[in-house]
Amino acid sequence: QVQLVQSEAVVKKPGASVKVSCKASGYTFTSYYMHWVRQAPGQGLEWMGIINPSGGSTNYAQKFQGRVTMTRDTSTSTVYMELSSLRSEDTAVYFCARGVATNSYYFDYWGQGTLVTVSS
């Protein structure tokens, strides 16, 4: 069965960077694009960007361009999302989510979420 397992919760100071991982299993890793979506406490869902695990190409939401980097490791079927220059407003649960089809922007499987807390 398809599973997306994310890294554990983390606390970071303002100005630092965070790197969240998402390990995929139960399907061919390189056949489905992966997205990152975040949710601030008590708020809605916000799309951050997409990575093609096959070639590594990415496309980021304009809001995060310059601060986010998405990468992948095909040997371990893992995608990563790194967010830099953290501020308190980046406190949120970060989800990886599998695109339903190639370059599709809706999602059939989600990770369990990783809480990133930005606090001094």
Residues 35-54 that bind other proteins (CB under 8 A): 35, 44-47
In the DSSP assignment, the letter for residue 90 is: G
Nearer to other proteins, 56 or 108 (CB): 108
Residue 66 or 75: the one with the smaller Cβ distance to other proteins is 66
Task: Tell me, by CB under 8 A, how many residues bind other proteins.
Answer: 20
Half-sphere exposure of 53 (CA within 13 A, CB side): 29
The secondary structure element, H or E, covering residue 39 is strand 34-39
Q: Which of 30, 61, 69, 80 binds other proteins (CB under 8 A)?
A: 61
Q: Select from 7-15, 24-32, 59-67, 68-76 the region that touches other proteins (CB under 8 A).
A: 59-67
Query: Is 48 in contact with 116 (CB distance < 8 Å)?
Result: no
Among 107, 117, 118, 119, binds other proteins (CB under 8 A): 107
Residues 6+ away with beta carbon under 8 Å from 79: 21, 22, 24, 34, 51, 53, 70, 71, 72, 73, 96
Among 27, 91, 110, 117, binds other proteins (CB under 8 A): 110
- Cβ neighbours of residue 4 closer than 8 Å, sequence gap 6 or more: 22, 23, 24, 96, 97, 98, 109, 110, 111, 112
Minimum distance from CB of 105 to other proteins (Å)?
4
Write out the residues near other proteins by the rule CB under 8 A.
35, 44-47, 59, 61-62, 95, 97, 100, 104-108, 110-113
